[in-house]
Amino acid sequence: MPVLVGRHAPAFKAPAVIDLQVESDFSLDRYLGKQHVVLFFYPADFSSLCPTELWAFEELLPEFTRRGVAVVGCSTDSVDAHGAWLRTPRAEGGIAGITYPLVADAAKTIAANYDVLAGHFDRAENGEMTFVGAPVAYRAVFLIDRAGIVRHQAVSDRPLSRRISDTLRMVDVLQHLETHGELCPANWEADL
């Protein structure tokens, strides 16, 4: 798996659902020069673990916003699936009330470009290309700076959950470095 840290985040234009409205050409370009971005991937809409993480991002969204960080979610589901899930109440396993953009990567090109697409292509005996495995995204987080450079990435297998506060801590570490030019030791926490 290639490491994207230190490189420009792969560009994309894809449909996204924002406030129950579909934006057909969503891009991270809107944040360049203005905000840091936390782009996170999750495996699937209407699953059991994924909504817990989406809600954890939503609950910490005021803290990300206070730090000038945009949060963007992405899965290999369609924009229609995102919309249906966003209209489903939380009590029924839905994510109604999530306010940050959810990018629909139904073509799986964004996950592939960020190298977080589970499974792989293989050639069958007859020479045809087939996909082996489930073509969904791993759980991944990319912290992208204002210049569009990936500064941190974390990728986990689909059944492994993550702690969203760890992502917020990485934002604090990056912003402390940018502001003060100082390195932060292990387990450092910002004095807020």
Q: Which of 9, 17, 28, 50 is catalytic?
A: 50
Label residues 31-67 b or e (16+ Cβ within 10 Å = b): bbeebbbbbbbbbbbebebbbebbebbbebbeebeeb
Domain 14-26+33-180 has CATH 3.40.30.10: yes
Higher pLDDT, 131 or 85: 85
User: Which of 126-130, 135-139, 178-182 is modeled with the greatest confidence?
Assistant: 135-139
User: Average pLDDT, stretch 36-52?
Assistant: 92
**Is 50 a known active-site residue?**
yes
What does the pLDDT look like over 81-129, one tens digit per residue? Answer: 999 999 999 999 899 999 999 999 999 999 999 999 998 778 888 889 8
Domain boundaries, the chain: 14-26+33-180
Instruction: Show the CA angle centred on residue 167, arms to residues 163 and 171, nearest 5°.
Output: 160
User: Average pLDDT, stretch 39-48?
Assistant: 92
